Every structure is written in C-alpha cells, then in structure tokens.
Structure 1
Amino acid sequence: MILKNWIQEFDHETNNTRKLLQAVPQKDIHYRPAANSWTMGQLAQHIATIYYWYVGTLTQDVYDITADHFERGHPDDIHSTLALFENNVEKAREALVSLTEEQLADEWTMKSGDNVILGPMPRGVVVRGFLFNHIYHHRGEMIVYLRATGNQVPGLYGPTYEDGLRSN
C-alpha cells in the first residue's frame, strides 16, 4: 500500500517539479542569492540530478555515488537541464515501480568511495527522506530564487500569491 501511494505522489510531484523547472528563465540562470549559493542553473540541475539517484538508491543495497558517472550537461543551459530531468524521471519511475514493499525494509547505504555518507538505514526511510523530501527542499529554494528575480512562480498546490494579486 505504501508503494502505491508513493507512486501516485511521485507522479503528482514530478509534474509540480516540471512546472517549476520550466519556469526557470535562461536570462536569470546565473543568479545566486549569496556568494556561497548555487546559481539558479546549478540548483535546477541538482533538482534534475536527484531523480537520477532513484535508480542507484532503489536497485542497489550499497550505492557508491563516486562510481556512478553520468552526463549532466551544462548548468547554464536550462533546456539541457529540462532534458536531463525528463530522462531521469523516466528511469526513476521505472525503479520505483519495480520496488516491492518488502524491499522497503532492506538496509541501504550510500558511499563515496570508502566513506559512508548515509546509512545504513531502511530503504523506505531513504526513499522518503533522501529522495522525495530532498527534491521538495530544493524546490522551495528555487521558488525563492524565482521570486527574488521577479519571475512568476507556478502554482504547485493551487494559486500563488502572485495569482491572487492579478485577480484583485
């Protein structure tokens, strides 16, 4: 039952993420709110990359992130990031639907070479915390970036503040 609900949530929230990434304008791709922050393009690319991590997280008991290389494209090109996102979403959904309820209890670990980054912990905790919530966290950051640059924020859960201003 949990997986059925997570797949529905994944589909719904992927559409929200898509709307948000599509709202990123090329003209503001280099915007960063502080010197130690990512640019808007780097943040968008990171959001798209998290979907890539679903495969290693859901299909391997020990996921070595340094051994897993893939082409991300350039963070200064939002069209490249949108293509990366769509490709990663397709693979992520396949990995999610292949998972069983029993596998949610399996111990999972993320490593970077010999260093343990996360875990060991039950895979179900990782799905919720590291995958789903991680994306939601960074989407919130992206909303702040969009508003700081005067861009329209798409309604993810109904009308936005800006939508309300237009109707007055």
Structure 2
Amino acid sequence: MDAVSFFRAQLEREQALNRKVLQQVPEGKNSWKPHEKSMEFGYLAALVAQMPGWIAMMIATDGLDLDDKTSGDKFQARASESNEALWELAEENYLKAKSALEGTTEEHLEGSWAFRMRGVALNSGPRLEQIADTFTHMAHHRGQLTVYLRLLGAKVPATYGPSADEKVA
C-alpha cells in the first residue's frame, strides 16, 4: 500500500474516533482544567477537532513557524462556543485533510517539512513522517480529552478498545 492510501485510510479511522470523543464534550466547560498547568478543556477539544487540518497544511506548505503572525496564528486552536461549532470545526478540518491527501503524490510526501518557533526548527523531516507524527499527536490529545471527560463525569467512548462506559462486542 502506498503512503497516500495508507494516510487516507488512517484519516478515516482516526476521524471516526475523534467524532465519538467530541460528541461527548459538554457545553459550558471551556475554561475548566484539571490542574493549573493543564490546558483548558475548550482549547483541548478544539485542538483535537482542528488537528486533521494540519495534514492539509503540511501538504500545502514547506513548514510552519508558530511565531509567524501571517500563518502561525491561524493554527492556534480556539475554543468553540457550542458543540455544533466544535463539530463543524472537526468536519471542516477533516474535509481539508481528505482533499489534500486526494490531491497529493508519493513524491510530494517525500519532500521536507519543518515545524518552527522563532525561526528555529523544532521538528523537521520528510512530509510523510511529519504527517505520521500528526496522527500520533492527535491520538495523544484525544486521550487527554477522554481523561477530562471522565473527570467531568461525562461518558468516555470506546476508542481503541472498550471503556467503562462503552463495551465492545
């Protein structure tokens, strides 16, 4: 299987999991966080919703500098004011990633991509490795989100296996 097909299939699997988790996000809790050093709940939920869009950005660009106000600002997650807005954000970013993957090539995925802050590359390498890391990073933040859900008394859906709230046959 080629990388484009692999990533398209992975996007479908991961987006299905994102939807299950994001559907459990209660409204009115955006500023809640389990610890003073933790990120706010609304930011974390928006981050999970937005992360598939990073794939499209990685395909369309050679890198991202978060301190560059012309491009970095639009990749900072912002809490959604309603569940409907959160779900729209998730769907919009999923569709961007799907479209970008459908329009790219193996050769392009082998090209270099870099993540920078203040002009310093924090992570760089072949685009396909950076995209693979994005899926892992997204699963990590989705896992954090399930912990927040549990602490808030919301249901935790099954993702890679059963949860206390959702058994898998």
Gap change, CA 1:158 and 1:111, over 3 Å in 2: closer
Query: 1:109 Cα shift?
Result: 1.4
- 1:138 match: 141
More helix by share: 1
The 3 A distance-change label for structure 1 pair 45 and 52 is same
Query: Please, which runs of 5 or more residues in structure 1 have no aligned partner?
Result: none
**Identity within the alignment, %:** 28
**Structure 2 unaligned blocks of 5 or more:** none
Query: Which residue, out of 124, 128, 138, partners 2:132?
Result: 128
Q: Does 1:77 align with 2:78?
A: no
- Once the two structures are superposed, what CA deviation does each residue of 1:62-110 show, in whole Å capped at 9, x if it has no partner? 3344332449664443332222111111111111222212222211112
Secondary structure of the structure 2 residue equivalent to 1:128: helix
Q: Report the residue type matching 2:159 in the other structure.
A: L
**Pair 1:6–1:70, CA change in 2 (3 A):** same
Partner of 1:155: 158
Give the AA of the match of 2:142: R
Output the aligned Cα RMSD: 2.2
Q: 1:118 aligns with which of 123, 144, 149?
A: 123
CA spacing shift, 1:78–1:41, aligned 2, 3 Å? farther
| Rounded Cα–Cα distance in structure 2 between residues aligned with 1:25 and 1:62 | 34
Q: Deviations over 1:17-72 (max 9, x none)?
A: 01111110114333211011112111001112222222221121233443324496
Shift >6 Å, 4+ stretches: none
Counterpart Cα distance in 1 of 2:100 and 2:118? 23
2:143 maps to a residue whose letter is G
**CA–CA separation in structure 2 for the residues paired with 1:62 and 1:136:** 22
Given that 1:74 and 1:80 are in contact with CA atoms closer than 8 Å, whether structure 2 keeps it comes out as no
The 8 Å contact of residues 41 and 78 in structure 1, kept in 2 or not, is answered as no
Retained in 1: the 8 A contact 2:158–2:165? no
Instruction: Tell me how far apart the structure 1 counterparts of residues 61 and 28 of structure 2 sit (CA, whole Å).
Output: 39
Following the alignment from structure 2 to structure 1, what is the Cα–Cα distance between the partners of residues 119 and 43?
27
TM-score by length of 2: 0.83
Per the alignment, in what secondary structure is the counterpart of residue 51 of structure 2?
helix
Size of the aligned set, in residue pairs, is 162
Q: What amino acid does structure 1 have at the position aligned with 2:84?
A: H
Quote the Cα distance in structure 2 between the aligned partners of 1:113 and 1:52.
22
Give the TM-score, by structure 1 length.
0.84
Question: Hey, what does 1:10 align to over in structure 2?
Answer: 11
Given candidates 88, 95, 107, the residue that maps to 1:90 is: 95
